[in-house]
Amino acid sequence: MEKLRIGVIREGKVPPDKRVPLSPQQCVEIMERWPHVEVLVQPSPIRKFQDEEYASLGIQMPEDISHCDIILGVKEVPIKDLIPGKTFLFFSHTYKKQPYNAGLLKAIIDKKIRLIDYELLKYKAGNRLIGFGRYAGIVGCYNGWRALGLKLGKYELKPANLCDDRVEMESQLKKAILPKNLKVVLTGMGRVGHGARETMSLLPIKEVNKEDFLNKTFDEPVFVHLDTEDYFKRASDLGYDQEEFYADPSNYVSVFPEYCNVADMYVACHYWADGSPHFFSKEDLKSPDWKIKVIADISCDIEIPIPTTLRPSKIADPIYGVDRFEGNETDFHNPNAVAVMAVDNLPCELPKDASEGFGRELIDKVLKLLIEGDEDDIILRATETDQGALTAKYSYLQSYVDKANY
């Protein structure tokens, strides 16, 4: 069988990202599972996994990986690092016509690169094969609990990015002192939402249904996990039809404010599409019934569906306050402030664990198709460019590319 070489490229985007597509042990696993495949790793001073960890397992670490057939990265590959004629897999952030990456896509086409975008790898039903969403939920929910402790002045947790790994981060949750009547609302049933549930399960908090959450008082901490049909309703009769909603959400309104009047913390993990109702308004924030003190906005859609998310926050300074009545940013300790956690690159806080989780999916769900064959054309549907042109599915990007320079 013909030799196949897979290269792991050094992450070059600024600010630097410590994540990798494959851990050292996963590189070995690939070569053992498919003996005709060789994995090479370009040296890097910034990875969470050190070069020595790869080299000690016998993995070749050449500076030049231009002889590899497939190149794996995580974030956008700098134009200067693109290798003509190769197959690249990374998050390109181009399919939505993101203006800051138009030049990158043009360069990929000019260099006759076959681009397979991780974000576009989907089953026929539309659900994604691979991503870091689970770890965004795990870390984002933890950050929410950290923010709550600081807001209430009840406890302090070590920042996630200062923990060595997930085990250390989760051990910090033992310090959390939860008020007996605490109520937490969680939105989103995808990877992110279920990642948040993993963190929630480590705390002494009970899940209840939405009716009890809204109408009952408890002498123990409780949370409710909501899906789209629970907070968006048809304006005419408060009904819900999933197919109708996703086809045209303009006839729907949000009933989420009723949760804002009973919950102490909101963990937002939902997917929000343009045209969907806003969760609550700036006027809702001013209501005397408003109760939420902390919003961990893991979805991080700036200012539109959740108006307290004024900006993304940074890992080093993840919490800011928003004055309920003025709408401006303020100290989150201010009694009138809602504390907002809106870090938009949460998996970077646990680069080792996030990388291992991503690599597991990459091997089992993507490389398997590339190496053994893809009967369902999953790879083909995610191939954005090939042989110096956009593929037919992504031809709508042509005007976006034509206007670009690099």
pLDDT at 1: 76
pLDDT of residue 253: 96
Region 373-387: mean pLDDT is 97
pLDDT digits (tens, 9 = 90+) for 149-174: 999 999 999 999 999 999 999 999 99
Q: Mean pLDDT score of the chain, rounded to an integer?
A: 96
Structure tokens at 377: 């054309």
Across 274-315, the runs of DSSP E, i.e. the strands, are 294-297
Do residues 20 and 74 touch, judged by C-beta distance below 8 A?
A: yes
The pLDDT tens digits of the residues spanning 80-135 come to 999 999 999 999 999 999 999 999 999 999 999 999 999 999 999 888 999 999 99
Mean pLDDT along residues 135-145 = 98
With 0-12 / 13-18 / 19 or more C-beta atoms within 10 angstroms meaning exposed / middle / buried, residue 198 is middle
pLDDT at 73: 98
Sign of CA dihedral 361, 352, 204, 301: negative
Query: Rounded mean pLDDT of 130-152?
Result: 97
Q: Which domains does the chain have, with CATH numbers?
A: 4-130+351-402 (3.40.50.720), 133-349 (3.40.50.720)
pLDDT computed for residue 285 by the predictor? 97
Taking 90 as the threshold, does the pLDDT of residue 273 lie above it? no
| Number of Cα atoms under 13 Å in the Cβ half of residue 45 | 0
Looking at per-residue confidence, does 126 or 229 come out higher? 229
Burial degree of 211 (CB within 10 A; 0-12, 13-18, 19+): exposed
DSSP secondary structure letter of residue 252: E
Residue 280 pLDDT > 80: yes
Does pLDDT of 375 surpass 80?
yes
CA angle 36, 30, 379 (to 5 degrees): 85
Q: Mean pLDDT over residues 285-305, rounded?
A: 94
Using the 8-state DSSP alphabet, how is residue 190 labeled?
A: S
Q: What is the DSSP letter of 60?
A: B
pLDDT tens figures, 248-270: 999 999 999 999 999 999 999 99
For 136, the token pair is 């965004």
pLDDT for the residue numbered 15: 85
Q: Cis peptide before 159, with omega less than 30 degrees from 0? A: no
pLDDT at 6: 98
Amino acid making up residue 221: P
Q: What is the pLDDT of residue 274?
A: 82
Indicate the Cα dihedral angle 354, 159, 161, 298, nearest 10°.
Answer: 50
Which has the minimum average pLDDT: 14-18, 109-113, 276-280? Answer: 14-18
Model confidence at 302, pLDDT cuts 50, 70, 90, reads confident
Check residue 174 and give its pLDDT.
97
- pLDDT tens digits, 320-350: 999 999 999 999 999 999 999 999 999 999 9
State the pLDDT confidence band at 272, using cuts at 50, 70 and 90. Answer: confident
Residue 3 burial (C-beta neighbours within 10 Å; 0-12, 13-18, 19+): exposed
User: What is the percentage of the chain residues whose pLDDT exceeds 90?
Assistant: 95
Q: How far apart are CA 337 and CA 350, in angstroms?
A: 29
Nearest CA to 188 out of 180, 201, 197 is that of 197
Distance of CA 370 to the CA centre of its chain: 24
